[in-house]
Amino acid sequence: MPGYEKRTELIDLIYRVFYIILILFVIKLISIQIVNHSYYLTLSEKNRIRTISKLGPRGNIITSDNVAVAVNKPSYSIMYFPRENITDKYIDDMSLRISKVLSVSYDDIKRSISVSQKTSKPSKIINNLSIKSTMFFYELKNIFPELEIIEENARYYPYGNFLSHIIGYTGKIGENEIKYYISKNYSLDSLVGKTGVEKKYESNLKGGDGGLFMEVDNRGRLVNIIGFKQWHKGDDVMLTINYKVQKAMEDSLSKLPYKRGAAVCMDATNGKILGYAVKPGFDLNYFSSYRDDKKYEEIDEFNIPISGLYPPASTFKIIMTAAGLESGKISESTQFYCPGYYDAGNRVFKCWEKKGHKMLDLIGGLAKSCDVYYYNVGNLIGPYEIENMARKFRLNEKTGIDLPYEKEGKIFGPRARMSGKGYWFIGDTLNMSIGQGETLVTPMEMLMVMSSIANKGKFYKPYYVDSIVSSDDKVILRNEPQVVSEISLKDETYATLYKALRSVITDGTGKLADVPGVDVYGKTGTAQNPHGKDHAWFIAFAQKDGKNPIAISVLIEHGEHGSTAAVVARDAIKSYFLNDDHSDEIKLNTKKDIIIE
């Protein structure tokens, strides 16, 4: 062949380029198919699998006397699963029967079914079916196997505004929580606890989600059903709260003409909270029906028993009495004369009774809550003894109850004052003696004082969750009583204190708290409030043979006088010790068969 020769070095050049690109391709191929295999596999699974998820119902929240205070309200929907060879006549027939049996609109049903059939996508055709209708549904299911019923659960609080601060409420997952809950494998339409027990025990209350897994094609049409995962219910939380006590206290508070107040009742022998009433509470169902975050702010969620700080006022006289008796400087028979005022030299301190109480012994002094008597006691034993006793009663310590935003009280005494480089005057001692001045306590702390006197010295950590029980009746967690600290007072001190506190009820300021047949011991208090009417205090404990003694602390903001608070305590004591009271209002539901229409 004449002419041109083959220049093979040129074709070699081209092939070299080809091999370089080939190597690049293989590297990229390995990176896609081997290195990132699991990533792409997840994506392809996501593509093909559609889940009709069924959220597992949340566990119930149940009081110690088996009243469910947070339950699930089932709602039912009917789904249509399209299959091949369905005629229009069949759809007509089906729609007609459904509309007759379940009394819903024929046109709507027919439209939903037709759309579902045409697109081959399973879809809900009826929402929020009533529980009665679900019974009729099973008749339909026999004729039309394409239909399936689906149960969904909404959170429901049967008593609405009841025990709100303890139970808490649920809501949709908020924007700032999404990451956290997704990492916990939550479905985004789950309800999650926002406050209280609902939040604290979210991981227990949450049910196990299940669902129907379907394989779909690129247009979302059902190809086949891969599997079904059974959901299960979450664990039940058993509270220590006694429904009767709680109800009695809330009713009693609501009858009072004052806007805010709180009452806490506790078993004095173990720290179990029996009642935790806060006025105004809030309707927990409000939150499950409204999703608007702004609405939340309108609600007064202030937790008075643990976050509210008030001067202890006359209730502090219990600590004064204990301090006096322990010091040995006064005894039951120590007498002081009350002319209605106390002359401290440069200043005159008044008794709340302007006429004066005349001559009083210790029992009378506490029963009548005589200020002058305690000015004398304070003067006699000195401020250090008082401050020490207040510390022993833990007025500057959190009680340790498992609730957020608990505050500790503040003891006003010479040591505290000195650390602030101030001076301590005799007037300060006198103010301190009657619980005014700068001493501040929470109702919860005063409850602990009463409970420690009732059980002679033990400070239990208050708790409100007794146990957590799984859906198959296994106890997952049980809280045991826990002694936080102990105070040792002489037996005579207790005897005298009991006598004095009892006389407050029998012939003193706390007469309204008297319950026949029950030994009630208590003390009223009226905390001076420069911003308005005085706050009313009543703290008490009560005992009766055969039952654990209970301690109660009541505070009514602007309640004017301690005796208003005593009424609340009385109702609580009655409901706890006397079974017949309020029993007509209480319908005891057994734990398992709560059905709400």
Binding site for other proteins (CB under 8 A): 1, 3-8, 10-11, 13-15, 18, 21-22, 24-26, 28-30, 32-34, 36-37, 39-41, 43-45, 47-48, 215-219, 223
Nearer to other proteins, 3 or 546 (CB): 3
Q: What is the DSSP annotation of 180-222?
A: HHHHTT--TT-EEE-SHHHHHTHHHHSPBPEEEEEEE-TT--E
Question: Min. distance of Cβ 27 from other proteins in angstroms?
Answer: 10
Nearer to other proteins, 29 or 143 (CB): 29
Question: Min. distance of Cβ 148 from other proteins in angstroms?
Answer: 23
Question: Min. distance of Cβ 597 from other proteins in angstroms?
Answer: 43
Nearer to other proteins, 42 or 128 (CB): 42
CA–CA distance, 246 with 163 (Å, rounded to integer): 7
Nearer to other proteins, 17 or 135 (CB): 17
Question: Min. distance of Cβ 42 from other proteins in angstroms?
Answer: 8
Nearer to other proteins, 44 or 127 (CB): 44
Of 463, 496, 493, the closest CA to residue 478 belongs to: 463
Question: Min. distance of Cβ 202 from other proteins in angstroms?
Answer: 34
> What are the backbone angles phi and psi of residue 274, rounded to the nearest 5°?
-95, -30
Classify 279 as helix, strand or coil. strand
Question: Min. distance of Cβ 119 from other proteins in angstroms?
Answer: 14
Classify 61 as helix, strand or coil. strand
Nearer to other proteins, 33 or 103 (CB): 33
Nearer to other proteins, 41 or 418 (CB): 41
Check whether the bond before 158 is cis (ω within 30° of 0). Answer: no
Nearer to other proteins, 3 or 517 (CB): 3
Sequence-distant (≥ 6) Cβ neighbours of residue 564 within 8 angstroms: 256, 258, 536, 556
Nearer to other proteins, 221 or 499 (CB): 221
Nearer to other proteins, 85 or 218 (CB): 218
**Taking a C-beta distance cutoff of 8 angstroms, is the pair 373, 357 a contact?**
yes
Question: Min. distance of Cβ 596 from other proteins in angstroms?
Answer: 42
CA distances in angstroms from 391 to 439, 445, 487, listed in the order given: 12, 11, 10
**β 358-360/147-156 pair status:** unpaired
Q: What is the CA radius of gyration of the chain?
A: 35
Nearer to other proteins, 84 or 472 (CB): 84
CA–CA distance, 331 with 496 (Å, rounded to integer): 8
Question: Min. distance of Cβ 90 from other proteins in angstroms?
Answer: 23
Question: Min. distance of Cβ 6 from other proteins in angstroms?
Answer: 5
Question: Min. distance of Cβ 213 from other proteins in angstroms?
Answer: 13
Nearer to other proteins, 220 or 339 (CB): 220
CA–CA distance, 102 with 140 (Å, rounded to integer): 10
> What are the backbone angles phi and psi of residue 92, rounded to the nearest 5°?
-55, -50
CA distances in angstroms from 387 to 35, 393, 415, listed in the order given: 70, 10, 8
Q: Using the Cα atoms of residue 117, residue 118, residue 121 and residue 127 in order, give the sign of their dihedral.
A: negative
Sequence-distant (≥ 6) Cβ neighbours of residue 389 within 8 angstroms: 319, 320, 322, 323, 326
CA–CA distance, 113 with 108 (Å, rounded to integer): 9
What are the residues facing 53 on neighbouring strands?
Answer: 211
How does DSSP classify residue 354?
A: T
Question: Min. distance of Cβ 2 from other proteins in angstroms?
Answer: 9
Q: Left, alpha or beta for 295 (phi > 0: left; psi -120 to 50: alpha)?
A: alpha
Question: Min. distance of Cβ 32 from other proteins in angstroms?
Answer: 5
Q: What is the 3-state secondary structure (H, E, C) of 70-112?
A: EEEEEEEEEEECCCCCCCHHHHHHHHHHHHHHCCCCHHHHHHH
